[in-house]
Amino acid sequence: MKSVFKNTSMTRLISPVIGGIFVSCGNIRQADRQQNVIVVLADDLGYGDVSGYGATTIQTPNIDRLTKQGLKFTCGYATSATSTPSRYALMTGQYPWRNKKARILPGDAPLIIGTDVETLPKMFKRAGYATGAVGKWHLGLGTGSIDWNGHIAPGPRETGYDYSYIMAATNDRVPCVYVENNHVVHLDGNDPIEVSYVRNFDGEVTGKEHPELLKMHPSHGHDQSIVNGVSRIGFMRGGKSALWVDETMAEVFLGSVKSFIDRQGNQPFFLYYGLHQPHVPRLPNERFAGKSGLGARGDAILEADWCVGQLLDYLDEKGLTENTIIVFTSDNGPVVDDGYKDDAVEKLGAHRPAGHLRGGKYSLFEGGTRVPFIVQWKGTVKPGTSDAMICQMDMYNSFARFTGQAADPKKDSRDVLDALLGRSQTGRTDLIQEAQGKLAYRRGEWAYIPSYKGPAFSKWTNSDLGNAPEEQLYHLGSDIGETENLAKSHPSELEELRKRFQEITKEVE
């Protein structure tokens, strides 16, 4: 088996998968330690929100450390323009549109990843890695009727993570509690948690009825149960001792990340670190409040950047930097107003969250799925820029080869390991992009969007959605902003992309 390391003295003591079963060839000695892998996934961070990707109205010096020390991809993608589907693809190596349940989930939704499905953490576990998930989850928990006061399963642990410290869904949805492994953190058994997405509980106030109790007001929706002075989506009662405080969430998750790293000793680890910023409600710690000049959203981006810096500093402190591959990316494109009045719109100014791309979160245009994507492996991956097309979904088969395992041909994941490590400018050739159940297609320099009913523009998000009565065809090499529809002037290219798009998507279950 060919090693991917520069240092030929680092020998892998593992064998490939034989007959679908991973066979170990011996224990891993300290001197032969495998490389750690950390995937940092920001939430709603756009292509233009990072100064290393061209932002000038906001500075992200710690994420820029990654771009300066690592490989910056200009064509890095999430599969989807919303959270749950893109996370599903990252974890499973499969297109989310193949699973009808892979849509934006309520906070009490059942787990949408089958416990028998081969996942990214399971693949790493077969290679002898400890696995951890910290931060935003939003892939469901339980089987449909969760007892938040008892053992909560299945969840991250049942999908391959040895350890997890998560929020169940999003920071704007109940229940507003942390779940460590299979139990709510700091829960008082005398104050049980109840959750409903159908009706409120007797005696519980809501933001809609009592706006005077709010420190941040909704712009649309988000007017149900109040937690920490913010009304959320859904209804919740009880669990007062377990409720999170938004302003300390970054420190809580970061502490869990550091503890997980500390506990591994000499065992290699895979860590999924799901940042909650800059998703709404944006309530960063007071050290960041008002510091960006762009309102709460900009402040939340500064906090996310700080989290990245703290992680990098900690790896340096522990002497793990050169033994750790870091993949930094975002779950989907940006959104400014996503349900709260937080001055993000009023103070946006000249800042363009999607950069030169069109659209954002919820959009079929490039701004919905093309996101910051950086790989750092200090001392091995040469710093620079790559135009190779890669997708978060490709982590599965790429790291399967990295750990000496056979690729899974049934996955939509592609082995783009050489591109990830900067050894090739060739990535995947095409990609199906998804936004709220609708699909588009990227192949080479071309982007194809079928005709769809629905509004072309969202007044809530102030973004183009990609819906149009006619088919759309854009040449991204000459028109990255997707301003000129070439469907009528390039019929042969249109037919070619339409045909291939239909061939791929007809396989949907």
For 345-390, the pLDDT digits (tens) are 999 999 999 999 999 999 999 999 999 999 999 999 999 999 999 9
pLDDT of residue 507: 65
> Please, which residues bridge with residue 164 across strands?
133
Average pLDDT over residues 218-238: 98
What confidence score (pLDDT) does residue 34 get?
81
H-assigned helices in 105-247: 120-126
Q: Mean of the pLDDT values across residues 478-507? A: 96
| Buried b / exposed e along 65-87 (16+ C-beta atoms within 10 A) | bbbebbbbbebbbbbbbbbbbbb
**Segment 248-257 mean pLDDT:** 98
Query: At 146, phi and psi to the nearest 5?
Result: -85, 130
Tell whether the model's pLDDT for residue 19 goes beyond 70.
no
pLDDT at 452 over 90: yes
Q: Which pLDDT value is given to residue 463?
A: 87
Rounded average pLDDT over 443-449 = 98
List C-alpha distances in Å: 29 to 25, 335, 373.
Answer: 12, 47, 32
pLDDT tops 60 at residue 239: yes
From residue 373, give the alpha-carbon distance in Å to each of 110, 160, 275, 327. Answer: 30, 24, 15, 7
Distance CA 372, CA 354 (A): 10
User: In the beta sheet, which residues pair with residue 325?
Assistant: 37
- The pLDDT score that the predictor gives to residue 340 is 98
Residue 156 near residue 134, CB atoms below 8 Å:
no
Q: Are 378 and 312 in contact (CB under 8 A)?
A: no
How many whole angstroms separate alpha carbon 31 and alpha carbon 10? 8
Q: How far apart are the C-alpha atoms of 456 and 443, rounded to whole Å?
A: 23
Are 487 and 377 contacting, i.e. CB atoms less than 8 angstroms apart? Answer: no
Nearest of 454, 498, 504 to residue 473 by alpha carbon: 498
Q: Give the pLDDT mean for 296-318.
A: 98
Do 404 and 129 contact (CB within 8 A), yes or no?
no
Inform me whether the pLDDT recorded for 9 exceeds 70: no
Q: What is the CATH number of domain 432-505?
A: 3.30.1120.10
pLDDT, tens only, 57-105:
999 999 999 999 999 999 999 999 999 999 999 999 999 999 999 999 9
The whole-number pLDDT of residue 18 equals: 28
Domain edges within the chain: 38-193+238-428, 432-505
CATH topology of domain 38-193+238-428: Alkaline Phosphatase, subunit A (3.40.720)
More confident residue, 144 or 202: 202
> What is residue 29's predicted lDDT score, i.e. its pLDDT?
31
Report, as an integer, the average pLDDT of 441-447. Answer: 98
Amino acid at 124: F
Q: How many CB atoms lie within 10 A of CB 133?
A: 28
Q: Does the reported pTM lie above 0.85? A: yes
Is a pLDDT exceeding 60 seen at residue 8? no
**Distance from the first to the final alpha carbon of the chain:** 36
The type of residue at 164 is S
The full DSSP string for 45-76 is --TTSSGGGT--SS--HHHHHHHHHSEEEEEE
pLDDT-based confidence at residue 508 (cuts at 50, 70, 90)? low
Chain length of the chain = 509
User: What is the pLDDT at residue 117?
Assistant: 98
Sign of CA dihedral 104, 110, 115, 116: negative
- What percentage of the chain exceeds 90 in pLDDT? 91
Q: pLDDT category, 459, cuts 50, 70, 90?
A: confident
Model pLDDT, residue 232: 98
Distance CA 114, CA 98 (A): 13
What tokens appear for 449 in the block?
Answer: 């969007």
Quick check: 240 pLDDT over 70?
yes
pLDDT > 70: what percent of the chain? 93
